[in-house]
Every structure is written in C-alpha cells, then in structure tokens.
Amino acid sequence: MQISRREFVKSVSVAGAGIAMAQRALAQDLATVAAPVKKTDDLNVAIIGVGQQGKKALINSCLSIPGIRFKAVCDIWDKNRKVAVDYLKTYKHEPNEYIDYQEMLANEKDLDAVIVATPDWLHAEHSIAAMEAGHHVYSEKEMSNSLEKAKQMVLAARRTKKLLQIGHQRRSNPRYIHAIDKLVHESNILGQVTHANAQWNRAVSAAQDIGCAFRDVIPPDILAKYGYASMQQFLNWRMYKKYGGGPIVDLGSHQIDIFEWVFHTTPKSVIASGGTDYHTHHEWYDNALCIYEYETKHGVSRAFYETLTTSSHGGNSEAFMGVNGTLLISEVAQRGNTIEREKHAPDWNVMVQEGLLKPEGKSMVKVKTKNVKLDARESPGMPQWPLPIELAKLPHQPHLENFFDAIRGQCTLNCPAEMGYATAVAVLAVNRAIGTNKKIEFKKSDFVV
C-alpha cells in the first residue's frame, strides 16, 4: 500500500510514537506547502496588539530587519496604538490605524503576514482570523490559555496552509542552537543529561501592577465590548484566569520549552506547588515550583522549574546537568553562558580547536589556603569553557527573521504550531497540578494534534 510521508507522520503521531520527530517533520512538510517563494524581498506586515511586547520587543526587532514594511497597526487602546503609529512613522513607515482587527483584515488587501501580540486569551481568535484571511502569522506565546483554542490554531494552519510561528524565540537564538544542537546533541559533550534546573524570578518592584493616568483609561463600554471587566484587568491580564496563565505561563513557557529541546522528548509527568501568597488580589499564583519527569533514551531525567514574584534571586537562566559537565545558559548574555567540565570528563581541547568552545576560563572556586580540609564527597567548583557564540541582535530578531525567511521560501519554521502546542500542554499543566495538588501524568498522544 502506498502512503505519503505526511500521512505516515500523522499516523505515527496519533499512535504516540516518535513524537518530537513527527511533529517537526509534519510542520516542515506544511511549511513547504504553505510558503511559495516571493518574487520580492519586501513583505507587508500588520500587527495586532502594541503593548510592551508588541512595540518594544517585536516592532523594534522588525525595524532591524530589511525588507519589512508595516502597513497596519491594530489595538483597542488609543494610547498604545497612537504611540506605535507615531513611532513607526519616524522610521518612514506609514501604517493605517485600526481599533477592530476584523476591520483591519477586511481593508488591508496586500498583507503578507500578521503579528499577533495581544493577551493570550485572544491569540487563537486573532491568529485563526488572519490565516483565514490569507496571511501567515507570527503569534506570541503562549499559544492560548486554553488547550482547545491552541489546538484550533494548529488545525487552522493546516487547513489554510499558512505558516504559524509561535514566539518561543530561544528556538532561533544562535547561542541556544549552538549549545543544544551542536554541543549537547551532536557532540554529546555533557554525556547523559540527568537533570535540569531553571528559573525566572522577579523582585516585588518588578511584579507590581501596571497602572495608567486617568486621562488614558479606556471607557467602560469599550472595555466591555472587547471582553474586559476593568482597566485593572486589561492592564494586568496575565494575572487573571480569563485572560492569561500567571507567571508560570508568562515566563516559564520559554524555558520549559527548552527542556523538551534538550531532552528530545515531551514530559511524562509533572508535580507542582505554588500559590497566591503575596500578591493576594490576583487570581493566578504569584509563585510556582514544579518538577517534570522525562523518559529519555538513557532513562528518567528530571527538570526543576521555579518562578517567583517576590525575589529576583537567580534572575532567569537554565542549567542542564550531565555526567560529564553542565551547560549554563541564559537569553541575557551577561548572566553567563558556559560549559562546566567534570573532572572525569573527556578532554575538551579538541572542541576548542574546532571552534565549538572557547579556551577554558576561570574556575568557579579556587582554594589556595594551606591546611584547608574539603569534604571528599563534595565536588570542587568546575572549570568553565565559554560558548563561542554571542547574540548581537535583539532577542526576538532571529526568530522573526526565521519567520520572514520561511515566508520567502528560504527555510522552515523553528517553532511551528505543532511544537508550540506541545509546550503549551506541558506548561498549562503546572497550574492544574497546583490547583489539584496532584501529580499530572501525560500520554504521548496528549502532545499531538
């Protein structure tokens, strides 16, 4: 019986086998179908949602990418919209302004792509409408605060044959690609990776509610029309259950996504603890701590994740611990991006000669005092090898470049909808585990649409 590659991938996905490989293969097949090569490098782009993420992160990144022309800006808040339009005009863009995204999609006939940077609960509505209107979509993570809506986004991308990139920008960061693909996977520099540890912590001052001047408040009837109960909830939507998923979704999604990349599989379970312990007027948990289990080819590996809104200790970074060494990495370069080598590990000088690592840096711990007794059961600080790759761009820029290049037919997406959905399944389960105080067990099929 003859069977196409796409049909085969779908069949093994449904069966729950080869999950990561199947998702990526299917997404790349769809990307090839969806992205005819354009005759011009110029792409016409619209953006829905120009708050802090939309303007400061995404618009600024796009302005550093040649061949991108903003044709429309949509936001229900006059303040955000006008600031974004005026800002774009200083860079010689002349975007049209819209309050309602449906009016924008109806009027803008020459768009190539739409960037969706609205609150999580609207990602599905806006992304699906844009794809059905004939446009490729870059959607901020999380795909949705509802798995059912996230699933509809995946199905819409398949149905419309449009590209859907999910905004897990580390997937396109050259430092992460080098560290994970080249060093961890290809060179097996860490040996068996047994554990991971990551966190994104913020001080109370950084977690305070956003406010605005009275003159900028959106009238109650406009807020109600677009589904918001109050200006407080509109501005701080991440902390309310209708609109977002709290810090574990807002912050943790990026790093939990990296767990799956390193372990080459989706988790088999998660346990979690947390609560609304300090910012008591919020609905979502202001702290969350969780442990995932991953069934790898070497056996079970575990990953701990922590996000706090009362202390900035540790900032945000990830550590992947193997029997031969540890990868320490962060999206923010100055927080350190190194490989630490265990004493018994194979010699890494060959990798330095090949350009995969920089020469050994300073050891974390140096003991020079005589007569110092160390517990033999404690390993001393390990010597460090810096990564040779740095990101000389804004953090979101490579991911947007990947999206635009995929539209031009020059590559495939680094984080297609199927991959974003698998991460959403893992991340959204944390809030459920905290709420039920129960361990969540996953099936492979849970991560497949």
Q: Tabulate helix, strand, coil % of the chain (nearest 5).
A: 40, 20, 40
CA distance 318 to 314: 10
- Say what the pLDDT of residue 34 is: 47
- Say what the pLDDT of residue 439 is: 98
CA distance 112 to 321: 42
State what percent of residues in the chain have pLDDT above 70: 86
**What mean pLDDT do residues 158-168 have?**
98
| pLDDT at residue 43 is higher than 50 | yes
**What tokens were used for 440?**
């969540």
CA distance 330 to 34: 33
- Say what the pLDDT of residue 162 is: 98
Residue 373 — pLDDT band, cuts 50, 70, 90? low
Residue 30 — pLDDT band, cuts 50, 70, 90? very low
- Say what the pLDDT of residue 382 is: 84
| Dihedral pair phi/psi, residue 111, rounded to 5° | -80, 145
- Say what the pLDDT of residue 3 is: 42
State what percent of residues in the chain have pLDDT above 90: 82
CA distance 177 to 180: 5
CA angle centred on 417, ends 41 and 195, rounded to 5°: 115
23-37, 49-63, 305-319, 354-368: range with lowest mean pLDDT: 23-37
DSSP 180-214: IIIIIIIS-TT-SEEEEEEEEE--GGGGSPP---G
- Looking at domain 20-172+397-416, what is its CATH homologous superfamily? NAD(P)-binding Rossmann-like Domain (3.40.50.720)
SS3 437: coil
* pLDDT digit string, tens, across residues 216-257: 999 999 999 999 999 999 999 999 999 999 999 999 999 999
The ranges assigned to domains in the chain are 20-172+397-416, 176-210+247-390
Give the chain's end-to-end CA distance (angstroms, integer): 25
- Say what the pLDDT of residue 6 is: 42
* Preceding peptide of 142 cis, ω within 30°: yes
| pLDDT at residue 111 is higher than 80 | yes
- Say what the pLDDT of residue 12 is: 39
- Say what the pLDDT of residue 332 is: 80
CA distance 46 to 60: 14
What is the CATH class of 176-210+247-390?
Answer: alpha beta
- Say what the pLDDT of residue 8 is: 35
CA 133 from chain centre, in angstroms, equals: 25
